[in-house]
Chains A and B, each alone.
Chain A
Amino acid sequence: NAGVTQTPKFQVLKTGQSMTLQCAQDMNHNSMYWYRQDPGMGLRLIYYSASEGTTDKGEVPNGYNVSRLNKREFSLRLESAAPSQTSVYFCASLPREAAYYGYTFGSGTRLTVV
């Protein structure tokens, strides 16, 4: 009964380094999302994938890329990390019947860029 699994839980990067945040869900959900959480700003959508094979930009996509590898997995890549990308990142998934279930969130990845 894993739900949404994110790895890693914590990461420290130097400016300019790259990394990929992994997200997997085992609920057969169609849609997957990446959000970042910053103090006083709530959660902001970075990218989403409404279904396997599609990805779209959210509110704050600059500096990020995503891959929907298959129905289960949706990864977020930082090609050249910047201190402004220090944040907590949450992955979420959603079944087709969105209005009736709400999102399921992962436990988050706390990223620090120095």
Chain B
Amino acid sequence: AQSVTQLDSHVSVSEGTPVLLRCNYSSSYSPSLFWYVQHPNKGLQLLLKYTSAATLVKGINGFEAEFKKSETSFHLTKPSAHMSDAAEYFCVVSLTGGGNKLTFGTGTQLKVEL
């Protein structure tokens, strides 16, 4: 079975400061991992994905994530937050095969303050 845990339901940062959204996963096999972002009343947009290539993955809008197998983590970071980053972020794990179903974390709401 696969699962994903987002360690913080809410994160608040000041504009211009670093962002860290934490995610731990559990998977019996080599997983694919994703981060999705959802702005208010919008659909989900893919930020970045890890698929067993480079462990440091760069995504859109300056976000990146590092896959650490020893820690079963896939934390999302950004060096400098912008007001437009305020949204809900989902860490997602997928196993290839078996319908390629995604398992979502419960989400982290990011608030960016002036």
Contacts and interface: CB of A to CB of B under 8 A. Distances in A.
The range of chain A's interface size is 20 to 34
A50 B96 CA distance: 12
B90 to A, nearest CB: 6
Interface in B1-37: 9, 32, 34, 36
Contacts of A45: 101-102
A42 B90 contact: yes
A45 B49 CA distance: 20
Interface in A66-114: 90, 92, 94, 98-100, 102-108
Contacts of B104: 35, 42-44
Interface string A29-43: 001010100001111
B94 interface: yes
Interface of B: 9, 32, 34, 36, 42-46, 49, 51-52, 90, 94, 96, 99-102, 104-107
Interface of A: 31, 33, 35, 40-45, 48, 50, 56, 58, 90, 92, 94, 98-100, 102-108
23 contacts: A35-B104, A40-B107, A41-B106, A42-B90, A42-B106, A43-B104, A44-B104, A45-B101, A48-B99, A48-B101, A50-B99, A90-B43, A98-B94, A99-B32, A99-B51, A99-B52, A99-B96, A100-B49, A102-B34, A104-B46, A105-B36, A105-B43, A106-B43
